[in-house]
Structure 1
Amino acid sequence: MRLAFKIAARFLKSSKGQTILIVLGIAIGVSVQVFIGTLIQGLQKSLIDKTVGSSSQITVTSKNDNKVIKDWKSKIKDIKSLNVGINSVSAVADSSGFIKKGDKTEPILLRGVTFSAADSIYKISSNIVDGTKPSSDNEILVGKDLKKDMGLKLGDKVTILTPQGTRQEVKITGFYDLKVSSINKSWIITNLKTAQTIFNFGDNITSIEMQVDDVFKADIIAADIKSKLNESNLNVDNWKVENAATLSGLSGQSASSIMIQVFVLISVILGIASVLAITVMQKSKQLGILKAMGIKDRVASLIFLFEGLILGIFGAIFGVLIGLGLTYSFTKFALNPDGTPLVPLYFDYKFIVLSAFIAVASSTIAALIPAIKSSKLNPIEVIKNG
């Protein structure tokens, strides 16, 4: 085997121009795979982050007329006991109402949360643009768009009105920007107790919101949660049902990316196989002499398999470097109006390693045909017709 490797390396060195062209061909194929794959993954991650990255991916709600969930603490405990990839669980008490300041009144959704839990989903604390989050009852956060519409300031006292006729004066402690205009205009965020008191929920809540490690498994995890809770008066919804169009677009992107990569891979394999087949013809005299000196057919075959392996390794290394360079460059010149990358830089190292491995394996497999052809060479005929 060592002899076959040395001969393979010598053959490649003796035809440096041809070797460089093959390595370059493999590198271009790998770079296209890495560039397209990384670009699509970055685009998908960005889309997921914007769609459900900072929102509930699984939500438990009540089917009852009053929309409240009783004994919610034990239900959250049951959910957390499931080892299915749930990373955040937040209890929410919310309902529609109105906010009034002077002669201005706007419809709102008052959301009562436990900030330590809700932060892991909505990143509320990091999205406060002015002031601080509520530290006691009857304090609220207001979205920046609603602030602008109503001319609100920090420390202002406003009145929350409910459809049931309840009126509660609350104090504004901060303003937030969750990057969604409809939310910034309608959500009023407060602590759980304040919302429960204003809407007369008692110690009940209206929903349990969750995020998971793998967003594409949200439907499977939701089914596990529904089975665990086992209550007919509860709905367990997930983002995949609510965002079917987005999911379809992501699936289409993945399918197109895979197809492009497959066709690039096929072209690389055919190119390597054809060049190495020509090499067998070019090196037939040398192979004939080596066989006449006692080299076995198996060793002759290994020579070309090693050539394919060596070419694949160097092609994969250069291809990955070129692909990552192209991806990085793309994020520098393809920019949004605010200067942020059009597609965020995202490297999936497992995908990159897999692309390199596939390139090496494909290059080695492509060498099978010339390897088989070399093993069938008759040394006497080759030398005679040399």
Structure 2
Amino acid sequence: MLNRYRVPFFLALRSLQRGNLGSLVLTVVIVGMVFTNMIFMPSIITGAIVNYEQQTVDTYTSDIIIEPKEDFRYIEDLSGLLDKVNRVPGVKRASPHYAAGAVLRHKGKALSMAVEAVQPRDEMLVTTLSSYMEEGTYLGDGDTGEIILGRYVAGFKDPSEDFLPSLGGVKVGDTVTAEYTNGVVREYRVKGIFRTYSFNTDYLVFTTWDEMEVVEGRELDQATSVLVKTDPGADENDVKKTLLRYGVQEDVQTWLDFLGNAYRNAVESYNILNNITIVVSLVIAAVVLFVVIMIKTLNSRRQIGILLAIGIRKDIIINSYLFQVLILAILGIIFGILVVLGLTAYFTAFPIEFPEGNISPYIVPADIGINALYLFGASALAGYIPAWRIANKEILESMRM
């Protein structure tokens, strides 16, 4: 079988060697850029999705979030729930949150929002928020009279820099007044300002559990939510099922459940955009290679006619042009992979800055192979059609100038 393709492969190499070098290089570069577009542009979109998911898990929901039962405002018997959850296999730690509505005031600015109480030691095991302090320091167990603010809450002195309504440029050490819905008014020193580049997290305010007990005037055995961090390698869906088997009656959701169908639909929309990018790129590559081979066959009509006249089979002629286009595709794919690797290395070192964070390309190795096969197939089709058309013409017609 190899002997069958040896002659057309030899003819293909000879044709490329004798052809115009500039045209050859330009064709390879075009195919390489098309392949780069097939891989790199979707990798940016995928990188943004992965970045958002990582931000959500690390700073907002953790792996699993437990919320009150339907029609209930709070999770009751919090201490019993925490004891139960922390004993579940696959659970690293659970951290309760208690949110209380308040109006925050600072120098004439006012914001209505929830102040969330956490137990700092547990929270640091469940989220990575403490590592995102832009100014000041994170909360400590036992702190009272202090809060930390998200960057979008603290805001900027220049209103044009704010994405959302803010307190107008609060700094660490400033005093913020909180007027709670239960009538309690507290003055807080801003201990720190965090910035995660997540719109959800950076519009939050945190204080300690001890401070919230002062606000409520009682010991708190309630929570508005409990964040659960799973052990490394544990599947959050399996842990969720185990929590339910252990008798947790509250609403248990993985981070993906929490984001809901709207997020899944958004990801599907991005995947459609990725697929459109790939299809358009394949069409461009196919058209370019079709034109290249068509010109080659038209310029070689007399030579093809002579080959047919001396008894060279049609399939050898067709396969010779098919090998030419496949060689061009392989060279283009190799060039494209080198470009993609170079761009990925550069943008990993110097990520693209977006409001929701720094985005780096996220490339799945399998996608490179799959897209290479797509491009290979499109190239083969683009090369076969013009070669088949010219090889099936009558010998005398082919030999006419």
- Is 1:344 aligned to residue 350 of structure 2? no
Q: CA RMSD in A?
A: 5.4
Q: Distance in 1 between matches of 2:187 and 2:89?
A: 33
SS at 2:95's partner residue? Answer: strand
Contact 1:130–1:174 (CA under 8 A) maintained in structure 2: yes
- Paired AA for residue 41 in structure 1: T
**Paired residues for 1:101-112 under 5 Å:** 109-112=115-118
Q: 2:82 aligns with which of 72, 75, 79?
A: 72
Which residue of structure 2 aligns with residue 209 of structure 1?
227
Cα deviations by residue, 1:250-283 (Å, 9 ceiling, x for unpaired): 4434323422331231232133234324433433
Query: How much does 1:55 deviate?
Result: 1.0
Q: 2:251 aligns with which of 235, 255, 262?
A: 235
Across the two proteins, how many residue pairs are aligned to each other? 361
Cα deviations by residue, 1:151-184 (Å, 9 ceiling, x for unpaired): 9977x9x99999599x9x9997942414579967
Query: How much does 1:67 deviate?
Result: 1.7
Change (3 A) 1:295 1:181: closer
TM-score by length of structure 2 reads 0.64
SS at 1:137's partner residue? Answer: coil
Q: Distance in 2 between matches of 1:273 and 1:257?
A: 24
- Is 1:125 aligned to residue 131 of structure 2? yes
Which residue of structure 2 aligns with residue 23 of structure 1?
28
Q: Distance in 2 between matches of 1:259 and 1:286?
A: 40
Q: Distance in 2 between matches of 1:383 and 1:108?
A: 81
TM-score by length of structure 1 reads 0.66
Change (3 A) 1:349 1:188: closer
Q: Distance in 1 between matches of 2:329 and 2:189?
A: 63
Which residue of structure 1 aligns with residue 384 of structure 2?
368
Q: Distance in 2 between matches of 1:185 and 1:264?
A: 40
Contact 1:143–1:183 (CA under 8 A) maintained in structure 2: no
Q: 1:254 aligns with which of 264, 271, 296?
A: 271
SS at 1:142's partner residue? Answer: strand
Contact 2:145–2:188 (CA under 8 A) maintained in structure 1: yes
* Identical amino acids, percent of aligned pairs: 17
Q: 1:200 aligns with which of 219, 242, 266?
A: 219
Contact 1:129–1:176 (CA under 8 A) maintained in structure 2: yes
Structure 2: segments with no counterpart, 5+ residues: 105-109, 156-166
Which residue of structure 2 aligns with residue 300 of structure 1?
317
**Paired residues for 1:323-334 under 5 Å:** none
Query: How much does 1:22 deviate?
Result: 3.1
- Is 1:94 aligned to residue 98 of structure 2? yes
Contact 1:33–1:355 (CA under 8 A) maintained in structure 2: yes
Cα deviations by residue, 1:228-251 (Å, 9 ceiling, x for unpaired): 515583112455655655554444
SS at 1:367's partner residue? Answer: helix
Contact 2:34–2:281 (CA under 8 A) maintained in structure 1: yes
Which residue of structure 1 aligns with residue 37 of structure 2?
32
Query: How much does 1:61 deviate?
Result: 1.7
Contact 1:30–1:319 (CA under 8 A) maintained in structure 2: yes
Cα deviations by residue, 1:296-322 (Å, 9 ceiling, x for unpaired): 555434322221211112222334555
Change (3 A) 1:334 1:262: same
SS at 1:348's partner residue? Answer: coil
- Is 1:187 aligned to residue 193 of structure 2? no
- Is 1:56 aligned to residue 72 of structure 2? no
Contact 2:65–2:225 (CA under 8 A) maintained in structure 1: yes
Q: Distance in 1 between matches of 2:16 and 2:303?
A: 14
Change (3 A) 1:48 1:159: closer
Which residue of structure 2 aligns with residue 217 of structure 1?
none
SS at 2:361's partner residue? Answer: coil
Cα deviations by residue, 1:19-45 (Å, 9 ceiling, x for unpaired): 344334423433433453234334444
- Paired AA for residue 32 in structure 1: N
Contact 1:146–1:186 (CA under 8 A) maintained in structure 2: no
Cα deviations by residue, 1:331-354 (Å, 9 ceiling, x for unpaired): 989867xxx999733242534554
